Amino acid sequence: MPKQARVAGRALKDDQIPASQIAQRLQALGPDGMLMDLGPNLQSQAGALAAVPGPAQKTVREAVENRVAAAPSRVANDVAQTVGNGPDIETLKQAITQQQKQAAKPLYDAIRNVPVDVTKGNFGFVLATPMGKAALKNAIDLAANDGVVFSNTGMTAGMIDYTKQALDDIAKEAFRQGKDNVGRQASELARVLRTEADKVVPGYKQAREAFAGPAAIKDAIDEGATVFSKDISPDQLRRSWSGMSVSEQDAYIQGVQASLEAQLGNAVNDVASLRNMFKKGWNEEKLRIILGKDIADDLLKRIDRELLFGNTTNVVARNSETARRTASMSEVAPEQADLRQVNLVGGILAAFNAARGAVAQKLRGNANQELAKLLTTKTGQMTPEMVQMLYRGTQAMKPSLLAPGAAIPAINGMGPEKRKPLEITVRGN
């Protein structure tokens, strides 16, 4: 049986991975999964190989480095396969704003200068409140900033609408700051103005809806983009979701898509933080509400896969650096090796052992290279013959090639620490 099969078989056994499940577990990791990803003992073997100079080191390190380099495209594909590719949020908002202006402008032009008697109905009540007075002042500034000039010097439908928009802004900012009472009051005053204007100004509702439709979609985009950072419960999300129109739900998902795409892309080198974000609070459940259970679970599996790949990279490419430097020291600075005084016979035996050790090292190097190839075998490269070989390896209870104490024994089966110097007795006449 090849030595690499015994070594990898030992790791599989310690990782409690039956050989019959190797292909299935690799398949779950996708085309970039490797045998060394399947368990901590396999990862440690790859890390040990990466710390020892030789072809095996190059094989293992190149395998993980190439996979890291491919991470951005792999993540982009994960997004496309699960949540889809979201549009650029700012570009989408600009397009909606332009659409909003084009749809609403002629309708607002038609009613802007329609006079409104604010002494009737509940107009006077709203405009007499401190918040109403502040909103009216803001409305004048809003209209001026839009370049709107009112031909009627009295209160008009256009001025009422700008006042309502100012109240909407107050409510939105208050809710954002957690000032729920202020937000509730502003929302109620805006509702009263809207209701009263609908009664007395024909065409106002149509103009307002032409403006409010795209505006609501913009709000849905923002809500979707921040759903995982807000303290909103699953029940609140379900109620909000059920109250949206189909267009708003689509916009909400586009916000989610753009947010996830950005977060996945930024987390290529810190996947753990992304996974922890979904474990925080209700985020995992919210993901399932928005995307559906199957798609959400698929995305989480892909994130877990990247986390596993990152762990393997840490073991192979980073944690092995100290060991690599130590292992290379004897090659680049042999003068720092431990020198001991030995007698003539001891020196001869040491030279003999050194020669035999060089041969053994070459043999181990060849075996380690075969082990490196096995550990870096990808999902689609694992053949039934290899699985059968690994199965036989799990049945072998022999020391690992890389296990401490597995060095070639000294002459007569004794280690160097047990060897005694040759004694010569001189007899007298």
pLDDT grade for 107, boundaries at 50, 70 and 90: confident
What phi and psi, each to the nearest 5 degrees, are found at residue 156?
A: -125, 170
pLDDT tens-digit series, residues 356-406: 444 444 446 688 899 999 999 998 899 999 989 998 888 865 444 444 433
pLDDT for position 256: 83
Gap between the terminal Cα atoms of the chain: 60
> Which of 18-22, 65-69, 338-342, 414-418 is predicted with the least confidence, judged by mean pLDDT?
414-418
pLDDT grade for 267, boundaries at 50, 70 and 90: low
pLDDT grade for 138, boundaries at 50, 70 and 90: very high
Average pLDDT across the chain, whole number: 78
CB 122 within 8 A of CB 167: no
User: What token pair was written down for 159?
Assistant: 């001025």
pLDDT surpassing 70 at residue 334: no
User: What global pTM score does this model have?
Assistant: 0.56
pLDDT tens-digit series, residues 303-333: 888 888 888 888 887 655 555 445 544 434 4
pLDDT surpassing 90 at residue 427: no
Tokens 């753009």 locate to: 258
Higher pLDDT, 349 or 183: 183
Partners of 378 in the β-ladder: 34
pLDDT for position 116: 92
| CA–CA dist 60, 51 (Å, integer) | 10
CB 193 within 8 A of CB 167: yes
pLDDT grade for 338, boundaries at 50, 70 and 90: very low
CB 309 within 8 A of CB 70: no
CB 231 within 8 A of CB 283: no
Closest CA to 423 of 339, 346, 340, 341: 346
| CA–CA dist 373, 386 (Å, integer) | 11
Contacts (Cβ under 8 Å, ≥6 apart) of 137: none
User: What token pair was written down for 77?
Assistant: 């594909």
Mean pLDDT computed over 267-272: 62
pLDDT for position 265: 63
CB 202 within 8 A of CB 233: no
SS3 state of residue 14: helix
Mean pLDDT computed over 156-164: 92
| CA–CA dist 323, 321 (Å, integer) | 5
Higher pLDDT, 329 or 197: 197
Q: How many beta carbons lie within 10 A of that of residue 293, not counting itself? A: 10
Q: Which region, left, alpha or beta, applies to residue 53 given φ > 0 means left and ψ of -120 to 50 means alpha?
A: beta
What phi and psi, each to the nearest 5 degrees, are found at residue 115?
A: -70, 150
What phi and psi, each to the nearest 5 degrees, are found at residue 421?
A: -70, 150
SS3 state of residue 378: strand
| CA–CA dist 163, 135 (Å, integer) | 5
pLDDT surpassing 90 at residue 132: yes
pLDDT for position 227: 86
HSE-CB at 158 with a 13 A cutoff on CA atoms is 25
Q: Domain map of the chain by residue range?
A: 3-69+313-413, 89-291
Q: What percent of the chain has pLDDT over 90?
A: 27
pLDDT for position 114: 92
pLDDT for position 74: 83
* H helix or E strand, kind and range, residue 161: helix 157-176
pLDDT for position 212: 63
Contacts (Cβ under 8 Å, ≥6 apart) of 206: 107
What phi and psi, each to the nearest 5 degrees, are found at residue 42?
A: -65, -40
CB 257 within 8 A of CB 227: no
* SS3 readout for 242-257: HCCCHHHHHHHHHHHH
Helix, strand, coil share (%) of the chain residues, nearest 5: 75, 0, 25
SS3 state of residue 224: helix
| CA–CA dist 49, 52 (Å, integer) | 5
pLDDT for position 271: 67
Q: What is the dihedral of CA 81, 82, 85, 88, to 10 degrees?
A: -160
SS3 state of residue 44: helix
Higher pLDDT, 364 or 24: 24
What phi and psi, each to the nearest 5 degrees, are found at residue 119?
A: -85, -10
Mean pLDDT computed over 270-297: 81
CB 371 within 8 A of CB 49: yes
Tokens 């495209």 locate to: 73
pLDDT surpassing 60 at residue 48: yes
pLDDT tens-digit series, residues 222-246: 888 888 888 788 888 888 888 777 7
Higher pLDDT, 169 or 351: 169
User: What token pair was written down for 376?
Assistant: 């870096």
pLDDT surpassing 80 at residue 124: yes
- Residue 102 sits at the vertex; the CA angle it makes with 100 and 108, to the nearest 5 degrees, is 85
pLDDT for position 248: 80
> Which of 22-36, 38-52, 218-232 is predicted with the least confidence, judged by mean pLDDT?
218-232
pLDDT tens-digit series, residues 175-195: 888 899 999 999 999 999 999
